[in-house]
Structure 1
Amino acid sequence: LFAMIAAGLRDEVLQSNTPWYCVSCYYCMVRCPQEIHITDVMYSLKRMAIREGYTDHEAAPDFSQTFIGYVERYGRSFELGLATRFHLAHSPLRKVGIGTLALDMFARDRLALTPKRIKDIEGLHAILETAKAMARKAEATGGAKLL
């Protein structure tokens, strides 16, 4: 994505689904040796894509928000719930074939039927609240903006 940005491939960057996979955990910013504020870049790209009409009828933002909702509630993703909610909302008839994939994954014990909460969900909530406070502070000073 950053190579596409450097190459000036604006349309390709704004059509990319990469920013929508960012869950705003800030891990990439902590690990980046160049100290690039990657999360801020992802927020900016999301806002630009929405503003300029590059999103697929809000499918990407909906997917992102659904994913984040599960992570905030359970501390991890819940693939079956995520896929079910997303596909029922955005293309229920076109996704009938996914059912066979889900059954195969379930048969191989690769798909949980119910979400499982992490052990220290309260600790995660405290971390998320701190991250949100940091984002609000950054927004107030002209940095990253919350969606």
Structure 2
Amino acid sequence: MPYCDPFPAVHGSLLVLEDDDELGPLLKDVLTMAGYDVFLASTHSEAMSHLTDTPMAAAVLEWSTQKGGAGTLADHLFAQRIPYVVASGSVAHCMLPVCHQWARFLPKPFAITDLITAVEASRDFGVPVEGWPAAR
């Protein structure tokens, strides 16, 4: 009998940058059940390698990881027009660089349903045009 994935990735690939050893796998499981093919990374370099290997529908970023921040990763996502959600317990939304404050922000702890809603909303909204926030 061939293997059948019980949760097909109907929504595409999703990158999750999370360095918490307990939260990362939980987010991966939940987002997989929500219909995503989830690539979990705990470091900036792991995340970048996933981006070069696989087209992503969206991303979820912990802004401050133990091995560096997500700023350059967010810059890359923005340049590639890949929407992202910032889900962080270490920074407040107002502490993000202005050029990334358009992104949906979830302070930790957050409800899983809020994360799924934020990911879907970020995909619906997309990435703002170049020059944001000056274009506001």
TM-score of the alignment, normalized to the shorter chain, above 0.5 = no
Alignment TM-score, normalising by the size of structure 1? 0.27
Higher strand share: 2
Higher helix share: 1
